[in-house]
Amino acid sequence: MTRFMIGIDNLGHSCVKITKGNIDPVTEPDGNTASFLYNSKVAADVKLAVTDSTPFQTGSRYLPSGSNVNNYQKVLQAPSAGSAAVKDIGVRNSFYGDAIPYSLPMFDIKTRRLSDGKYIEQNRVRREGREGYGGAEPGYYETFDRGQSVWWENRPDTTSNTGDVIGALGNGLLYQGNSYATGDADQLEKEIVIWRLPADNTPILDGAPKAPIAGQWSAQFSKDFCRVAKPGYDVRTASQTQLAFDSSGRPLSAIGAADINLPAGVTRYDLGFAVTPNMLADLFLYVDDVITFPMSRFNRSLVAEYWFSGNSIYFDNKQSSACRCRFVVFANDRAPLTSGDNNFLRQFTSGGERVMQLLRPGSGNPPAFRDIVLDSRWPCLQILAEDYKPIAAQANRTPPSGTNSGQSFTVDFKGDGFFPIVKYMTVHHHEEFGKCVKFPQTRITESYNGSARYHQANSSYCQLTDNQATFWTFNGNPYNERYAENRWKFDYVPDPIIGIRYYILGIPQN
């Protein structure tokens, strides 16, 4: 049970609030953050800015149509028919208009196999390097497609993995494109998920609380509008980051979240709500009861595909041993918006519970997930802690005798009443191309002589407890070992980590 309020609280502030159980949203202090499934008075909020799965089989190299190497917004290099090659995709920030208010946003890329609709991005396997003297060889545990997706601040001429020059990207994302090879059972599509949060040391826009100002309009609810401004802003003139929500800038809510055991094989988890095949979810795999993001820090393979059907999310643990999985399924998917005569408010009873929804005006009955601005059953994510932490450079290390065992820093937060997850980006400086951000990787090397196991330089992870998050980095370690000129040599990254932008996110629990 929850309580839904649209109106004026006991402080005289116009707002929208959803509280747990019988907690009174009018009188409950805003500082009791775990009491609220949603509170429009929160300044530093969590939203998605863009989800983009634009097909890449356009027959054109540049978009929009008629653009060229100098003025394109998106470079689409679909492979030729019958080819299994995957070419690089470049997307400038300008492709998304004003939807992205940050030069370097936090982002994810979801990878889906078209033949069966399963998402496959949770995939870290072991590969062997080249043999050296006496048959010695290194081993590498590397995550599928990680490190190939980079958001650049100002990338100059870009060369794809086939040697084609696609022109200066500037400020934008470069990533491996879809595989559309004819007859390929593993054809893939990729979806870019861009959060309305900065991924570097840029402050959250309009993220500092402001006092309400007398005479300002705080909300507009009508056949045309469903929007509320943050305190201190007028809803009629507020920018996208000054709005608590509108029909296109919805709070990010979760229809399900849990931490479960994944035995080998298929596991089903009932979400309690009907889902579509292309819901958005975040998964984090770990072992030994140490909650670790983005993936276990140990040198072992972890592979878990997932998909949606009916009311459930399914996981397929491809390994022979069990692991743990912390996951969140967001109230968001790629289904099209509906059309109808729904006003901004919808009320109904489900499972004996009275449900209230705020909707995009003009949505259909029933509305799609993307039509629903707020639902009284679905808690919205809150930021429990966030900041940017510079990471110091380290001298290059030489395995196996000398490796960097890691540097760490710890963040305290108040997690009572929340189900916490960690989202963070690693910030880099490339020796040739400048500043960029990546989503985190866990990349581990077994040294050629078998006596050392270490994290590569751009590997990182975060370990989570109920009220602390500890981040680890490994600058100075090589990313590759090779035998050449009658000796073992080591290669070092051209873009070491210079910082971590982290968000400890909490999902209020009933």
Q: Is the pLDDT of residue 85 over 60?
A: no
Q: How many CB atoms lie within 10 A of CB 484?
A: 9
Task: List pLDDT tens digits, range 164-174.
Answer: 677 899 999 99
Question: Can you tell me the distance from the alpha carbon of 139 to that of 137, in angstroms, rounded to the nearest whole number?
Answer: 7
Q: Is the pLDDT of residue 161 over 80?
A: no
| Residue 354, pLDDT score | 93
pTM of the predicted model over 0.85: yes
Task: List pLDDT tens digits, range 456-485.
Answer: 999 999 999 999 999 999 999 999 999 988
Task: List pLDDT tens digits, range 348-363.
Answer: 999 888 999 999 999 9
Q: What percent of the chain has pLDDT over 70?
A: 93
Residues whose CB is less than 8 angstroms from the CB of residue 163 and which lie 6 or more positions away in sequence, other chains included: none
Determine contact, residues 321/334, Cβ cutoff 8 Å.
Answer: no
Task: List pLDDT tens digits, range 421-467.
Answer: 999 999 999 999 999 999 999 999 999 988 889 999 999 999 999 99
Tokens of 452: 């050392």
Please say whether the dihedral angle defined by the alpha carbons of residues 471, 477, 479 and 481, taken in this order, is positive or negative.
Answer: negative
Confidence of residue 190 (pLDDT cuts 50, 70, 90): confident
Burial 327-364 (b: 16+ CB within 10 A, else e): bbbbbbbbeeebeeebebebeeeeeeeebbbbbbbbbe
Determine contact, residues 505/381, Cβ cutoff 8 Å.
Answer: yes
When the pLDDT of each residue in the chain is averaged and rounded to a whole number, the result is: 91
Task: List pLDDT tens digits, range 242-261.
Answer: 999 998 899 999 999 999 99
Nearest to 378 by CA among 276, 193, 508, 277: 508
Q: Is the pLDDT of residue 114 over 70?
A: yes
Q: Return the higher-pLDDT residue of 4 and 86.
A: 4
Q: Is the pLDDT of residue 390 over 80?
A: yes
| Residue 182, pLDDT score | 46
Question: Can you tell me the distance from the alpha carbon of 46 to that of 196, in angstroms, rounded to the nearest whole number?
Answer: 7
Mean pLDDT of 191-201: 96
| Residue 60, pLDDT score | 64
Determine contact, residues 449/136, Cβ cutoff 8 Å.
Answer: yes
